[in-house]
Structure 1
């Protein structure tokens, strides 16, 4: 699956690049054909025929590609070269014939003529001719298996020949292409060496179209775990493409930057880049890219627990005419199964599980697709209490991990599934052991990502520091040279004055001594200033390091709090497996929802650039989406959310989130019985000064006539009243065609309380 995806990405890149190129070739062909009509039967005519044939060959990846035209003009060039005994034209005509047969899909015939071209060019051609012959031969090989190795070996011959020619742009293009081949072979060290050499050559000649080189360097950097460098070069590729007014590859670049953020587990940012990539693919009607990007976007929705949006996109993919191969079908069914399992839609999940098992029958035992299949089916078996089947698949999954040794995230998921199975079977000793292994793998993965980022940031900081030190040393050297020249001039002047003006010798000597004393005083003062500057720099450096350390510690605290809350959710989930009483199950579900609303706060805090405030628009939307999905009411209950752009301190956002959780939960449980359709409206608006109003309304059946919110002893109403009092808010509950909760609160009061505390 990995190699197929790489080939598809490469094909997308080539096709997109040539679509714009084809438009510039057609006028050149028309111009050369006019010259051909008035040309004589000499070597210049051979060159014209070869140029036309080569241009038709360059249209290979466009809709205008005409292999018959390539072959026709190549054969004319060959016949005329033979009659003129023009050996170089004869050799080059074999190159264009080989290209023509490759266009027609006749690879054996193309390789036969390419080998003849190599032989003739080695005898009669220049270094440039020999390089072109090897290029034609290399294109008769694919980028899989041994063919890929052959292709690279040919480029090992091409690049020294182009170095002899001295055409820097052509040499840079060959290095870029070989660097791409190395990354497909997972030889990332060689790939980066070629790509950076290509970049240096391109820059030396002022070549502007550097976006493809930047993109490939970013791709390889991401594969080697250097995520900051991957993002840096990915953004350079986007910037360069926009500066050149070329949008043909922007979709590919946005998608690859999104994949880097996905690897960093910054799923919100990844989702943003996937959205941009998808819009560009749809604009260019690039169906292959649209499919790949859509599936990446589905994966982001799953990681963000936005299951409703993920299922909607999957249905859209299923109804579209996108080119879906077997690997993509497997990924689609895996995504359906995972999301329906997470939302407890067992009937739909079972249907997709059956389809997935059917698709997997044709897979090889070493296929990477098994990893995704295990990840989807095992949780489904656990939820549906098919523990024996879950255990069988977990054993297969564990064996697969031992053999294939994928990333730590897969080992982490495997141990979590073992923990859930052992918990369900009441084997608590084994469950605890697997849970510890799960935490170890997950923490190792987090440290792995974080440590690489810190090292890269540290390296960048140290490099800049060294460059600044070098500049300071150069500046000090210039000052010393100036002082030396001044001293020499003073000495020469003193000697000349002594010879010419003997009577003024004493005065001149005194002046010299005064200047020397002044210089010493200045040097002493400069030394004091330098020492103070160094002390100040050390203090500033220590302060910056402490601020960075504080920032990472705060992120780690929020991360650990979020993880602990998720542990509570997992334990509640494990407890729910053994409960039969509906009231108890409902209470556990509501507790999970409350914990989730608090966990979401801490997740947003450690993923955000600002570690103390919460963007309420995103937070409220995610809570409501989560609750609607949790109660499986996304088809019957609509939401209407209008939030004033506002960021609240976490101490205020937590109680408001819990109040919102209780109100929406009550609406979903009681306002719309028997799957009755309904609407839940949430509005957060600014009043006068620092006063705000949170309005929560549903159009359900309303409260019972004898219900008094102030006297209610239910846990939900107790929480609502208690939390409203905690933030010194004014809560009012009324009903008119439904229930209406209005909460007025003030930021001024919260600020004063925080200052006092």
Structure 2
């Protein structure tokens, strides 16, 4: 996460659009407010980035940015021990969400509201009721990402309250959603919680599998704090299944990280105590001694939490050396620290403290006090459903009763131990079967969804085909209608044309008939004209012939004869003209 925060800071120096800049600033604000340690500098940094995002959102009127600023302010004030201011900002967010029916904002507001209640047995029930409201709001109006996130949060609360079956159901729902949206990089926290839940019900193989998946994601993001928590959980699972070599490997890794971190929940003394236990379980006493003398004794104690685990280191190491005076002194100090800080020490740490005290008291044969602390551990273990305490409680009682000669009670506790083992075995099987059932139902659900999706797709295709067929049929119908209209218009035009042609033909025939009559008449007149011309020429020739008979002058007679010849020539030409079809033959 730190690497991501540095990357975001670098991106903010570039030219980003206003909306993206707001989201980046809010991501940075969230990083600092959730950062381990609750340092004032981190709270101040978170407020600065949230304020910048708020001001920019108001400037560009980006509603989502303005509303998320209210959630961030609430978180910052709550983390900074100013709950009254935080509640005031949260009320503003609720008012906007209710007034405008903004379901995702309502979900975010409910999720933030849970932080105003303690994470203990009593108030965890209140938190669960509020989370249910957040889940319903996200379910109606949130994104898949928001639904998946709230499911992880939901499951973590069920895990804490000891309802492991409900926790696994929520985790598996979240897992399916993350995979559905392809957001596997944000599943580190989910896998970690799944691992812890499986570890609590004795399914260590499953716990290790999911913790390794969580680590794989953490190594990509280089989130050292989360990775260290993962390694701690993984080491504990290996320790519980008695694979001390692997447990030692991861306890050493966590120990190295813890030296560089300033986080109370990751104490180097805690991991040192388990490194000593791992080495002693493996029979490597020299390494344990060297580690204790050269490393553990040189560590600086920062708080009561460190001191608890330092005393456990002393108890474990010196009990193994049978130096009970030194281990007894350490046990006395541990009991004193536990009583002084009884109101702030968690139930899980109390169990760890009591188990170490019981182990030591059993070795020094202080069975009465050992029984007292064992009873307290069993009581707390049952309340939080710690499987290891349930398994080992009666077994330790059997050992204590056997050591004190109370054999009837020892036999009774041995039977309870065997019964508890069988019960836990059955519970484990139940969880395995439940998990398989969940997996089967999920796969069946996915298959049903796939079938329904295919049917839906087929239905869509059919609807689309029907639409296409209807469109094609409509187009064809329109085309047929257009063609019919065109054919009708063509027929009508043709009919009108035929009628016009018919009328024109009749008119032409009439005109032809008239013209034929005119032609015949003209032919007749032309024949008559030719006849008259011929007659006239014949008359002229006859007159000239008659005239020549009375003339005695030779020259006059020749002139008359020339004239006759000319008239004869004209007569021949005329004859050729009226006998021929054209003038080209003349």
The answer on whether the counterparts of 1:218 and 1:229 sit within 8 Å (CA) in structure 2 is: yes
Question: Structure 1 residues 282 and 441, CA, compared in 2 at 3 Å: closer, same or farther?
Answer: farther
The answer on whether the counterparts of 1:412 and 1:437 sit within 8 Å (CA) in structure 2 is: no
Paired position in structure 1 for 2:169: 193
Paired position in structure 1 for 2:304: 325
SS in 2 for 1:289: coil
Structure 1: gaps (5+ residues): 1-17, 37-43, 383-389, 423-429, 465-757
Equivalence map 1:583-594=2 (5 Å): none
* Structure 1 residue 172 displacement after superposition: 1.4
Question: Structure 1 residues 368 and 27, CA, compared in 2 at 3 Å: closer, same or farther?
Answer: same
* Structure 1 residue 113 displacement after superposition: 1.2
The answer on whether the counterparts of 1:412 and 1:439 sit within 8 Å (CA) in structure 2 is: yes
Paired position in structure 2 for 1:400: 376
**Separation (CA, whole Å) in 1 of partners of 2:248 and 2:30:** 39
* Structure 1 residue 135 displacement after superposition: 3.5
> Do residues 180 (structure 1) and 156 (structure 2) align?
yes
> Do residues 56 (structure 1) and 29 (structure 2) align?
yes
The answer on whether the counterparts of 2:391 and 2:420 sit within 8 Å (CA) in structure 1 is: yes
**Separation (CA, whole Å) in 1 of partners of 2:27 and 2:353:** 45
> Do residues 298 (structure 1) and 276 (structure 2) align?
yes
* Structure 1 residue 203 displacement after superposition: 0.8
Cα RMSD for the two superposed structures? 4.3
Question: Structure 1 residues 101 and 51, CA, compared in 2 at 3 Å: closer, same or farther?
Answer: farther
**Separation (CA, whole Å) in 1 of partners of 2:401 and 2:23:** 66
Which protein shows a greater Rg?
2
Deviations 1:263-291 (A, max 9, x none): 22333343333234434545767674252
**Separation (CA, whole Å) in 1 of partners of 2:178 and 2:194:** 14
Structure 1 or 2: more helix by fraction: 2
Equivalence map 1:192-211=2 (5 Å): 192-209=168-185, 210-211=187-188
The answer on whether the counterparts of 1:60 and 1:103 sit within 8 Å (CA) in structure 2 is: yes
* Structure 1 residue 309 displacement after superposition: 4.1
> Do residues 258 (structure 1) and 208 (structure 2) align?
no
Paired position in structure 2 for 1:379: 362
Question: Structure 1 residues 348 and 312, CA, compared in 2 at 3 Å: closer, same or farther?
Answer: farther
Question: Structure 1 residues 324 and 440, CA, compared in 2 at 3 Å: closer, same or farther?
Answer: farther
Equivalence map 1:15-164=2 (5 Å): 18-31=1-14, 52=25, 55-62=28-35, 66-70=45-49, 72-73=51-52, 76=55, 91=67, 93-102=69-78, 104-124=80-100, 126-164=102-140
**Separation (CA, whole Å) in 2 of partners of 1:100 and 1:452:** 42
Q: How many residues align?
A: 419
> Do residues 410 (structure 1) and 393 (structure 2) align?
yes
The answer on whether the counterparts of 1:148 and 1:181 sit within 8 Å (CA) in structure 2 is: yes
Structure 2: gaps (5+ residues): 36-40, 383-388, 440-586
* Structure 1 residue 195 displacement after superposition: 0.9
Question: Structure 1 residues 142 and 314, CA, compared in 2 at 3 Å: closer, same or farther?
Answer: farther
SS in 2 for 1:407: helix
**Separation (CA, whole Å) in 1 of partners of 2:118 and 2:140:** 27
Question: Structure 1 residues 253 and 377, CA, compared in 2 at 3 Å: closer, same or farther?
Answer: closer
Question: Structure 1 residues 333 and 444, CA, compared in 2 at 3 Å: closer, same or farther?
Answer: farther
Question: Structure 1 residues 323 and 74, CA, compared in 2 at 3 Å: closer, same or farther?
Answer: same
Question: Structure 1 residues 435 and 93, CA, compared in 2 at 3 Å: closer, same or farther?
Answer: closer
* Structure 1 residue 52 displacement after superposition: 3.9
The answer on whether the counterparts of 2:93 and 2:105 sit within 8 Å (CA) in structure 1 is: no
**Separation (CA, whole Å) in 2 of partners of 1:141 and 1:352:** 36
The answer on whether the counterparts of 2:74 and 2:85 sit within 8 Å (CA) in structure 1 is: yes
Equivalence map 1:164-313=2 (5 Å): 164-165=140-141, 167-209=143-185, 210-242=187-219, 249-282=226-259, 288-291=265-268, 292-304=270-282, 306-310=284-288, 312-313=290-291
Question: Structure 1 residues 371 and 349, CA, compared in 2 at 3 Å: closer, same or farther?
Answer: closer
Question: Structure 1 residues 353 and 226, CA, compared in 2 at 3 Å: closer, same or farther?
Answer: closer
**Separation (CA, whole Å) in 1 of partners of 2:423 and 2:286:** 32
Paired position in structure 2 for 1:344: 322
**Separation (CA, whole Å) in 1 of partners of 2:64 and 2:220:** 41
Which of 1 and 2 has higher RCO (CA within 8 Å, sep 6+)? 2
* Structure 1 residue 421 displacement after superposition: 4.0
Paired position in structure 2 for 1:355: 333
Deviations 1:87-120 (A, max 9, x none): 8776555334324434543222111210121112
**Separation (CA, whole Å) in 2 of partners of 1:463 and 1:116:** 40
The answer on whether the counterparts of 2:311 and 2:331 sit within 8 Å (CA) in structure 1 is: yes
**Separation (CA, whole Å) in 2 of partners of 1:102 and 1:214:** 28
Question: Structure 1 residues 100 and 336, CA, compared in 2 at 3 Å: closer, same or farther?
Answer: closer
The answer on whether the counterparts of 1:419 and 1:435 sit within 8 Å (CA) in structure 2 is: yes
The answer on whether the counterparts of 2:394 and 2:414 sit within 8 Å (CA) in structure 1 is: no
The answer on whether the counterparts of 2:397 and 2:410 sit within 8 Å (CA) in structure 1 is: no
* Structure 1 residue 222 displacement after superposition: 1.4
**Separation (CA, whole Å) in 2 of partners of 1:463 and 1:143:** 28
**Separation (CA, whole Å) in 2 of partners of 1:442 and 1:68:** 54
**Separation (CA, whole Å) in 2 of partners of 1:161 and 1:190:** 20
Question: Structure 1 residues 456 and 319, CA, compared in 2 at 3 Å: closer, same or farther?
Answer: same
* Structure 1 residue 64 displacement after superposition: 5.9
